[in-house]
Amino acid sequence: MKKWIVFIATIVSLCSNVARANDLEDAIDAHYKGNHAKALELLPPIAEEGNVIAQGLLGRMYLRGEGVNQDYQQALKWCHLAGKQGNVNAQANLGLMYGQGKGIAQDYQQAVKWYRLAAK
pLDDT (0 to 100) of residue 11: 43
CA atoms within 13 A on the CB side of 113: 10
* Domain with 92 in it: 2-119
Q: How many distinct structural domains can be found in the chain?
A: 1
Q: Residue 92 is part of a domain; what is its CATH number?
A: 1.25.40.10
Quick: pLDDT tens for 6-35. Answer: 444 444 444 444 445 688 999 999 998 999
pLDDT (0 to 100) of residue 100: 97
Tell me the C-alpha to C-alpha distance, in Å, between residue 76 and each of 49, 105, 110: 17, 12, 13
pLDDT (0 to 100) of residue 63: 97
CB contact burial 60-99 (16+ within 10 A = b; e otherwise): bbbbeebbbeeebebbbbbbbbbbeeebebbbbbbbbbbb
Sign (positive/negative) of CA torsion 71, 30, 81, 108?
negative
Between CA 21 and CA 4 the distance in angstroms is 26
Quick: pLDDT tens for 38-94. Answer: 999 999 999 999 999 999 999 999 999 999 999 999 999 999 999 999 999 999 999
